[in-house]
Structure 1
Amino acid sequence: MSESPAVPPPVKRDRTQYLYLAVIVAVLLGIGTGFLWPDFAKELKPLGTGFVALIKMMISPIIFCTIVLGVGSVRQAARVGRVGGLALGYFVVMSAVALAIGLVVGNILHPGSGLHLTDATRGIGHTAAADAHVGAVDFLLGIIPTTLVSALTEGEVLQTLLVALLVGFGLQAMGRAGEPVLRGIGHIQKLVFRVLSMIMWAAPVGAFGAMAAVIGETGTDALRALATIMIGFYITCLLFVVVVLGTVLRLVTGVNLFRLLRYLGREFLLILSTSSSESALPRLIAKMEHLGVSRPVVGITVPTGYSFNLDGTMIYLTMASLFIADSLDRPLDLGQQIGLLLFMMLASKGAAGVSGSGIAVLASGLQSHQPALVDGVGLIVGIDRFMSEARALTNFAGNAIATLLVGTWVREVDKNRVNLVLGGDLPFDERTLVDTEEDGAGDPAPARPVPAPATSAVQAAG
């Protein structure tokens, strides 16, 4: 009697595609609601704020687990220092390039002429400057958390980064005795990603509330009046990503920029709808590991880049400063421009991912170096939300590219896997965010015969 062939278990469909379709629909509905019922739309702002707060709630534990697992699995501490040193050096160079490009475009466009300052807008700048906390000493002391665990509860990225590095190095020094702790943190990471996948289903609601509120508050008047700087800023960010970052990526790694951006398409949509690059940070970590970059490189480069690799913010601060100076008929000479912007480059660290933080950094920088220009900060408040989206998108693209570059420099990228993933032969499985032995419904997760990355965390430890 012949045996019937075994029937393979059914592969569950990727339902997340419907989630991101719903996000697109929610954004369009939010725009329509903002135009048709602006007063009602303003009341929807807590929906967007609440969703971003839920995502930010998960950032610290995800960064902690990722860095501890990455650093703890590497036997030689010097390798971690080499990755961090290369990353920081690259971030400084790219920030300088972004500043230079912003200076050139801002001095060519001169978009601030013809605007009028009112008493209301004059007060906004001083309020924002008072709320900002900048300065080299405050910045350095702010990296140190109150307690070892407070960094995980207060949501400070740099504090979490410091604690995770210390714990990772401690486990590394413990050798085999630290392996049970590493396995436990690995299980905690899976739990955190499981919770994150649940939160992500609220993305359409958050996108609808955020977009409706900003359209309801802004309307079209501010857009028309400030269209020059807004369009110029978007074009500058696009050129920076495509020309500068795309060229560097191609020369160093051989990867086509547009294939990488397509691979990260869902993350860009999420950032566009929430105006916060932090909302996509956990997914960027998972996707860069899937792409073939080793866990230690991803775990160090991505969280560090979120505080130090702020290309979009650099361009924004440059163009906004020149815009305000022109609008107040107080043009800055080249020396004043460079001095002001170098200060802002330092002051902006740690401001990534927070919607509206650019206004505070801009106001505090002007307050310190050009007090007469603080009055003009209120001129761009109306369109800052739209410029915040471009800042976040540019920062996110810069961090994804930086991760590939640093991984290539330290030879911890599986290039064959990169080609498979970007070519569509090895697509990102949304279930890798919650990769457990059993599926959420209790059924075994279907296995797929895929090549393992040559630079996995285990091999990186060797």
Structure 2
Amino acid sequence: PTGYSFNLDGAAIYLSISLLFLAQAFGHNLDLGQQLAALGVLLLTSKGMAGVPGSSFLALSATAAALGIFPVAGVALLLGADRLMDSMRVVVNLLGNCVATFVVSKWEGQFDRSVMVRAFRGEITNHDSAIMLGVEDDFEDQELERISGGEAPSPKFRGGPNPEDIPGFQMSRPGSHAGPPERSSAAINHE
């Protein structure tokens, strides 16, 4: 909902290792104070990265410009390998997010190992998942529509009057046209 890319572990590792590599390639051995300063700048620039390919390369360029340890043009040394490294960053980011999901579910007491094992074995169907998520009514409606050849079942109302109980109400089905309600000959003769 925030549009923010969280937990970019792969990008964080890439930025720090690349920065140290480039500093050494230009003959600068960073002492502890410079490494901590680089870490602080990396924390800021990595938070501005978007979740798009190549964004960490731009963050590395911004970090190099902010630190001034080596020329920004030196980042071009990594340009040839960046495509391959980008694929590796994606894998590390994905695994980091998977681990974070498990950790948070354990902390919240929502992790059920037996359900996980059943899902990995393929024993849990979509219907089982719908029941676990509490949306089984929606799932049943979709399944009935699929089975009945496109005709949607009448909706389930959770409160208020049911429109089908209202005299003269006709519900149209998808793909059909329900015109005005049919009037009986007695009603026509009465007019």
Query: Which bracket does the TM-score occupy, shorter chain normalised?
Result: 0.5 to 0.7
**Alpha-carbon distance in structure 2 between the residues aligned to 1:345 and 1:444:** 53
Shift of 1:340: 0.4
1:443 maps to 146
Aligned counterpart, 1:380: 78
Determine the C-alpha separation between the residues in 1 that align with 2:120 and 2:32: 43
The amino acid that maps onto 2:14 is: Y
- The answer for unaligned runs of 5 or more in structure 2 is 131-138, 149-191
1:188-207 equivalences under 5 Å are none
Q: What SS is found at the alignment partner of 1:354?
A: coil
The amino acid that maps onto 1:341 is L
Deviation (angstroms), 1:338: 2.3
Structure 1: stretches of 5+ with no match in the other structure: 1-63, 65-142, 144-156, 159-306, 446-462
Greater length-normalized contact order (CA 8 Å, ≥ 6 residues apart)? 1
User: Against the structure 1 CA distance between its residues 352 and 407, is the aligned structure 2 distance closer, same or farther, given a 3 Å change threshold?
Assistant: farther
CA-CA distance at 1:361 after TM superposition: 0.7
Whether the aligned pair in 2 keeps the contact of 1:311 and 1:395 (CA below 8 Å) is yes
CA contact (8 A) 2:102 2:111 kept: yes
Count matched residues: 137
- Relative to structure 1, the CA distance from residue 403 to residue 325 in structure 2 (aligned partners, 3 Å threshold; closer, same or farther) is same
Q: 1:419 to 1:350 in 2, by over 3 A?
A: farther
- Report the equivalent of 1:28: none
Residue pairs, 1:223-238, within 5 angstroms: none
Aligned to 2:21: 323
Partner letter of residue 9 of structure 2? D
Q: 1:352 deviation in Å?
A: 4.8
Normalising to structure 1: TM-score of the pair? Answer: 0.27
1:401–1:427 Cα change, 3 Å: farther
1:394 — aligned with what?
A: 92
Rounded Cα–Cα distance in structure 1 between residues aligned with 2:43 and 2:78: 20
TM-score (norm 2): 0.62
Give the drift of 1:355: 0.4
Counterpart CA distance in 1 for 2:142 and 2:126 is 18
Per-residue CA shift, 1:315-371, capped at 9, x if unaligned?
100111111112211222232122202321232125252101011111111111125
Aligned residues of 2:10 and 2:88 also touching (Cα < 8 A): yes
- Secondary structure at 2:142's aligned position in 1? coil
More helix by share: 1
Verify: 1:362 aligned to 2:60, yes or no.
yes
Q: Distance in 2 between matches of 1:327 and 1:396?
A: 30
The one of 1, 4, 10 equivalent to 1:312 is 10
Residue pair 2:118, 2:124 contacting (<8 A) in 1 also: yes
Same amino acid, percent of matched pairs: 35
